[in-house]
Amino acid sequence: MADDPQVLEHEYDGIQEFDNPTPGWWHFLFWVFVVFSFFYVMMDFSSSPFLPSDEDRYDAAVLKATMAKFETLGDLEPKALTFASYAQSEEWMSYAASTFASNCASCHGADGGGMVGPNLTDDFGKNIKTIDDIYTVIDKGAAGGAMPAWGQRFHPNDLILLTSYVASLRGTSPGLSKAPEGEVMEPWPDAPPPAEPETGE
């Protein structure tokens, strides 16, 4: 019969085989999975240009967690005890340090030692006498615009946390420090670290 499979000519140890080719659908699926595996490998590795790296995913997760916690702050009051309190919070000062690095370090140095702007680590201040003055200078600016006003650029809580961060730099030891400018500032007030927000658990 025409539909009967044909016997192939080769023989191994007296054994012959039919000419029974693999079905076309099998070949189709085989190549589909070959192509799919290429894209799967590309999407799976952290070096893939199609997906964020592990570092990017980690940074995004940290940012998301930080922003969620940021919402628990409520509306902070810009007053001396608030500044002094948050200056003692390692977690919030780590957050504020990134704001400082992005916006202030170019003038005041990465560690606050001063460059174009004054040294923020010593006991002298050109426009600052009290801890409240730090907030005013950041918010309104100073020196005829040499120190820009950041009040309209930041969330009010960011202004307060940045004020606390600048206050926390006082008494630190930068790698390079600018000579003292201005007058001796008053000591910062004593305040306990901020209380942890209620979690509801």
pLDDT score for 92:
92
Whether the per-residue pLDDT at 34 is higher than 50: the answer is: yes
Range in 38-47, 52-61, 190-199 the model is least confident about = 38-47
* pLDDT tens track for 97-153: 999 999 999 999 999 999 999 999 999 998 999 999 999 999 999 988 889 999 999
Domain positions in the chain are 77-184
By the 10 Å C-beta count (0-12 exposed, 13-18 middle, 19+ buried), 176 is classed as exposed
Report the alpha-carbon distance of residue 166 to residue 159 in Å, rounded: 11
- In this prediction, residues 49-54 reach a mean pLDDT of 66
Q: Contact, 168 vs 93, CB < 8 A?
A: yes
| Least confident piece of the model among 55-69, 127-141, 171-185 | 55-69
Pick the CATH number of 77-184 from 3.50.50.60, 3.40.109.10, 1.10.760.10, 3.40.50.2300: 1.10.760.10
Residue 36 confidence (pLDDT) above 70: yes
